[in-house]
Amino acid sequence: MSFLDIFMGILAGIDVTIKVTLLGMLYAVPFAFAFGIAQHFARGPMRMMVTTIIEFWRSSPIIVLIYGFYFSLPGLGVHLSAITVGSMVLGLNIGGYGSQAVRAALQALDKGQVEAGYALGLRRLPILWLIELPQALAAMTPTFINQFIQLVKGTSLVSLVTLADMTFVAKAISQINYAPAKIYTALLIAYFLMCYPATILGRMIEQRVSRGRGASHEF
């Protein structure tokens, strides 16, 4: 097989890679915001519980989690498809890291803005939604884009539970045509072409955020 044939063959699995990535984001973003905000506000035992949940998903090996959920849950009567397990594990792992970006962005804001919100007669929740989160979102967006890239790269692990993503297809091709240099170079290029545009977008957003902060300081 020529290099082009191998590359086009690998792209046959791109639909699964994209689907796992998008489903993973559906887990990652709500988890990141919910637990990042909760960790920012929680105190005492509640904060410890929130932190434990976050650290479980951040610190546990992804491969172990995928195998554990996919092969262990059926024994408990819970049957989840491979794509559900893969996207959930990857999403919650990325969401754990994203929650720290949310928490850090909220903590970096000037506390005087909260006091100003109270002075205007706002309660704590409206202050969060109307004053704090819009500003924190600009600061955390570059981090979220970086985590999105990590999620795309992490989708290669779902091939372990027989999902026919690009990595799975590359392995299948290698069993038919043993040419590891060409096959895995083609796979590398495929992932690079998926991730590099997001990298450029992240840099552009980061530059805009930096310029915006500089302008606000001058003002």
Give the whole-angstrom CA distance, residue 69 versus residue 62: 11
pLDDT at 219: 46
Residue showing tokens 């990298």: 199
| Residue range 50-70: mean pLDDT, rounded | 93
Determine which of 25-29, 151-155, 209-213 has the lowest per-residue pLDDT on average: 209-213
Per-residue pLDDT reduced to its tens digit, 33-49: 999 999 999 899 999 99
Residues ≥6 apart with Cβ < 8 Å to 216: none
How many domains is the chain built from?
1
Contacts of 102 (CB under 8 A, 6+ apart): 32, 33, 36, 37, 40, 136, 140
pLDDT in tens, 174-213: 988 888 899 999 999 999 998 998 888 877 877 776 665 5
CATH number for the domain spanning 58: value is 1.10.3720.10
Residue 137 CA from chain centroid, whole number:
15
- Domain containing residue 99: 3-218
**What is the Cα–Cα distance from 81 to 74, expressed in whole angstroms?**
10
Residue 141 has a pLDDT of: 83
pTM, to two decimals: 0.86
Tokens standing for 149? 């890239």
Q: Between the CA of residue 43 and those of 38, 39, 51, 129, what are the distances in Å?
A: 9, 8, 11, 20
Nearest to 50 by CA among 18, 9, 12, 96: 96
